[in-house]
Amino acid sequence: MRRPITTLPPLLLFLVFLCRGQRSNSDSDRPSCHRCDLTFSCNCSHAQFIVVPMVTDDALTLDLSFNNIVMVTDDDLKGHARLRVLSLHANRLSEIHSSAFASLWSLEELDLSDNEIKIINHKWFRKLGALQRLNLLHNPYRSLGPHPLFKSLVQLRRLSFGSDALEEIGRAHVSGIDQLEELRVHGDNLRRYEPGALADIWPLGHVYLSLHGPFLNNQSLASAMLGDVSYPETWVILENLHLATSQSLQPFREAAKKRIRYLSLHNVSISDQRVVEFLVVTDGVPLTFLKFDGVTLKGEGRWEKAYQTDHKALDEVYLRNVIVLDVYKFVSFLQLGFLLQYPRKVSVINAGVFVMPCATSYLLVNLQYLDLSDNLLTDLTLQETLCNGRGTLKDLRVLNISGNALKSLSTVSQLVTKLSKLTHLDISRNGYSWMPQSCPWPPTLRYLNISQAKLNTVTPCLPVTLQVLDLSNNNLNSFLLVLPALTELYLSGNKFLMLPLGWMFPNLQILNIQSNTLTMFSLSDLASYSRLKDLQAGQNKFDCNCDFVNFFQSDIQRRKVMHLSDGEDTYLCDSPLYLQGRAVGRVWLSIVDCHRVLFVSVSCGLALIVGVMVCILLWRLHAFWYLKMMWAWLKAKRGSQRRRRIRHETEPLLSFDAFISYSERDASWVENFLVPELEEPSQFTETQQNPPGSLSLCLHKRDFLPGQWIVDNIISAIERSRRTVFILSENFLQSDWCRYELDFSHFQLFDGHTDRDAVILILLEPLSRDDIPKRFCKLRKLMGSTTYLEWPQDDDRRAEFWNNLRKALNGRDG
């Protein structure tokens, strides 16, 4: 879009020159642009730059359009020898240093359009030997300057120059240009043109001339200029014309003399009288292509004078964006019927056509291509246009009636069934809401476009002869129809959840199913398409599960299966949520995501094995027994603390001198030897209730409270006794309750309620520390740190044994 030329604000000018002054000292003051992609294409447009920013020296394309750059200095673009495309379009450029582009040896395209350049300097282009495209449009220069501008541009193929300010074009301005593929000249206010200035450009492919003023006021200038660029092989496009008078048509005489064959008029205002005069001017000219794009037509439809003109060479007529003023005054177009018998291609697009009379259709005897898209045709008026299928347009091969107000697919099929040579039919962008079960079609039909309608289902109405079918942008969610000849199928913008079954299309080569609701597809889905070469399935809602991601990355990306012409970056994950928006080809899934059942099974198996091994190890170390004992001790300890709180203060805490821990198998020794000796000494007298030397012992058979938990009894007995005596033997080591008593005593010792001499060990039979199993860790520890007594087998030594035992039991009292 062209931006109007405005005066640069003084503040902006000040900032620009301030930046330039500082720039001489350091490049660090220049802004930078880092918006470059992997192909080294840098898009720095719309960034409010007031000076040329710094970009990478590897840049191949640099777009600086739509900024506020005022000048380009001699070192702004140094170092960019690889640059091929430079766009400075729509800035505020008014000054460019003569050597600004000197280092751009590889530059192929330069766009300086829509700026404020008043003088074109030929030195800008001296080093641009590789330049192929140059755009200088819409700058306020009046002339191209006194020196040849383009003499050094030996590779130039596309040139655009001119603006509303351009006043003159001379031979020297464009000398040196030998051939061009495209020439654009904007000279609406051109005043002087040196004849022959553009005549040396040959061959010339397309020429665009905007000569609004000369066609109105200076027809000789327009005639000279149009004559210089008109060749039979050149496409001439004239823009912005107001053909109001007979004089305004005179320049076409020069084009007619050159036997022009291709002529396009864009943005034209013309009357019926001028149309007749145009046909007269071009009478006998081998004009094969005539195009009117953006036409405002006035008059009453009087075409009589053109009846005798010869336009047998006319092959294609193209009308688009036509406005007929006072259309109700027009009598008819039938008087132009002599023209309709020649063209093979006719396009009348967006012209407000609601009907083409059947009589007109009969005149189109050579017509092979008819485009009536974007008009006002209805089912009823289409019947009149095609003469109710009565055999008109017998040579028609292509019919485009898209973008009208058609609603009945059945009516269309019946009307075209008599078009015996019809191969292509475009009825898209109409209001079809349903498809009948059967429809007649011409047997020659190969291409059918019913896209952008409102179809919900596909029925056997479709012809089996189709090779290309476009059903894009409907409401389809399934396709169950065998089309054996189909090679291309377009289903984008529908609601498909899965690919159609491939066996229904044995010859399909291209499938487009973009923008649907596909969640995945697999190798088996594609295997059913025996000849499919190109799949376009991007922009769907893919579920990035392990199967699909693995298939996509291993088979699709490596092109083992299919070529994705729509690019792998369009295949994005929609689920799971944490992968949403990521490209399927760059997703990485862990073994937990891909083999969850196997992972859980293996993990549970390993956990079970480890658990079993740990259990075995704990069993070997008697850990379960220790845990059980620990729990029992803690429970009993809480009970003991509760008993202490409710015990009377006057009640003595200690009730026994010793608690005797022994095995039931050693009870005879305890009852026959230990108890009589300690509780019933030989010097006991009847007058003494508690004689000296008599000790109070706690035995489980005698002193444990019946009905109370045995562990509570053990803890209570240990707490209420000054000493704990363990009678050690093989029987003791085999008793679980003895181990309880031993361990509870040990805990009591470290709990702070008993002194370290509270435990007394008596060996009934010889036992060493090493003879005791390792699971009796407490006993082994006690035997290593505590003095123990051994029961003598010799009777003579027993008195000493009892004496030592009494001392041990009474040691606390001194």
Cβ neighbours, 10 Å, residue 371:
20
Provide the token pair at 708. 């109370």
Mean pLDDT of the chain: 86
Range of the domain at 298: 177-343
Name the phi and psi angles at 405, rounded to 5.
Answer: -115, 40
- Whether residues 587 and 697 share a domain: the answer is no
pLDDT value, residue 27: 57
State the burial class of residue 707 (Cβ atoms within 10 Å of its Cβ: 0-12, 13-18, 19+). Answer: exposed
Q: DSSP readout, 526-539?
A: HHT-SS--EEE--S
- Supply the CATH number for residue 708's domain: 3.40.50.10140
Residue 760: predicted pLDDT: 86
Q: What is the pairing mode between strands 563-564 and 158-162?
A: unpaired
- For residues 499 and 781, the model is more confident at 499
**Backbone CA torsion sign across 607, 610, 612, 615:** negative
* Structural domain ending residue among the three candidates 290, 324, 343: 343
The pLDDT score that the predictor gives to residue 10 is: 46
Residues 271, 62: Cα–Cα separation, whole Å: 46
User: Is the confidence at residue 502, as pLDDT, over 90?
Assistant: yes
Segments in 199-350 forming alpha helices (H): 212-217, 219-229, 251-257, 272-281, 337-340
Same domain? For 678 and 583 the reply is no
Between these two residues, 659 and 219, which has the higher pLDDT value? 219
Is position 582 within any domain?
A: yes
Which one of 526, 558, 591 terminates a domain? Answer: 591
Q: Are residues 333 and 186 in the same domain?
A: yes
Given a cut of 90, whether residue 312 has pLDDT beyond it is yes
- pLDDT exceeds 70 at position 632: no
Q: Per the domain annotation, does 585 fall within a domain?
A: yes
| Distance (Å, whole) CA 144 – CA 349 | 39
**Cα–Cα distance measured from residue 34 to residue 37, given in angstroms and rounded to the nearest whole number:** 9
Q: Do both 565 and 676 map to the same domain? A: no
Range among 255-264, 522-531, 649-658 rated most confident:
255-264
Length of the chain: 814
| Residue 265 is assigned to a structural domain of this protein | yes
Q: Output the pLDDT for position 113.
A: 98
Does 560 share its domain with 703? no
Is the pLDDT assigned to residue 51 strictly greater than 60? yes
Task: Give the C-alpha distances (Å, rounded to integers) separating 208 from 169, 280, 308.
Answer: 15, 24, 31
- 583 and 700 co-located in one domain: no
What percent of the chain has pLDDT above 90?
Answer: 58
Nearest of 437, 386, 444 to residue 415 by alpha carbon: 386
Work out the pLDDT band at 420, boundaries 50, 70, 90. very high
pLDDT at 690 over 80: no
Of 171-175, 409-413, 678-682, least confident by mean pLDDT is 678-682
Can you read off the two tokens belonging to residue 804? 């030592």
Angle at 62 between CA 567 and CA 15, to 5 degrees: 140
Residue 708 maps to a domain: yes
Per-residue pLDDT at 787 exceeds 90:
no
Residues 587 and 698 in one domain: no
pLDDT at residue 734 is higher than 80 = no
pLDDT surpassing 50 at residue 310? yes
Rounded distance between C-alpha atoms, residue 93 and residue 51, angstroms: 10
By CB neighbour count within 10 A (0-12 exposed, 13-18 middle, 19+ buried), where does 587 fall?
middle
Count of domains forming the chain:
3
> Could you give the maximum distance between any two Cα atoms of the chain, in Å?
169
The answer to whether residue 271 sits within a structural domain is yes
Identify the residue with better confidence: 61 or 3: 61
Per-residue pLDDT, 647? 52
Domain containing residue 235: CATH number: 3.80.10
Secondary structure element (H or E) that encloses residue 659, with its range: strand 656-661
Cut 0.85: pTM above it = no
